[in-house]
Structure 1
Amino acid sequence: MAEAETGLDARRKRLIFRAWHRGTRETDLILGRFADAHVAEFSDADMADFERLLDVPDPDIFVWVTGAGPVPKEDVSPVVERLIAFHHQVR
């Protein structure tokens, strides 16, 4: 268990695990690092948004985060916006 997961409830631990085990290493790094940094402070609404984001295919997330394409209107959320901003801060 990663140090960031210590003391987290089961739902938050599951989100971190899912973020790090996507299928493509690039998306694992994008989502996993974000989850490690932010899941502990997520509200219930943020966790629901992140759970929906984790159901999006890896190539779509990669395109959004790298700026190669826009986030579709139906997928825009505060968590997606935070993810994109986080990625651009930590490059």
Structure 2
Amino acid sequence: MIETAEHRLKKLRMRSWRRGIKEMDLILGAYADAKLADLDPTTLDTYDAMLSENDHDLYQWVTGQVSTPPQYLNLITVISRHAGIGA
């Protein structure tokens, strides 16, 4: 069965709000609510893959504590700015 765009967005929003740590719930959940519907399919694929990463790693990337892997750098930069963390 082919996943509809609406179902995919719903699933990604749910995964964004139901993380392992509350900080990432708030950061990714707010980003998902505001921006997911505007993302192109390639960026949605990257976002989907990023959601499989460990929350502690994600938090360190978003806050700039450690370097972000290249495949997520653009997306993490946008998410950080959206959360008011990035420059």
Do Structure 1 and Structure 2 share a fold, with TM-score over 0.5?
yes
Q: Which of the numbers 36, 39, 42 marks the counterpart of 2:39?
A: 42
Cα offset, 1:74, TM superposition: 4.2
Deviation at 1:51, TM superposition (A): 0.2
SS of residue in 1 equivalent to 2:34: helix
1:37-71 deviation per Cα after TM superposition (whole angstroms, max 9, x unaligned): 10011110111010011011000111111121211
Of 65-74 and 20-29, deviating more is 65-74
Count of matched residue positions in the alignment of Structure 1 and Structure 2? 82
Any unmatched runs of 5+ in structure 1?
1-7
Q: Percent identity?
A: 31
Query: Could you say which residue in structure 1 is the equivalent of 2:55?
Result: 58
TM-score by length of 1: 0.79
TM-score, normalized by length of structure 2?
0.82
Distance in 1 separating the partners of 2:24 and 2:32: 12
Residue 79 of structure 1 is matched in structure 2 by 75
Where do 5+ consecutive residues of structure 2 fail to align? Answer: none
List structure 1 segments (4+ residues) > 3 angstroms apart after TM superposition. Answer: none
SS at match of 1:71: coil
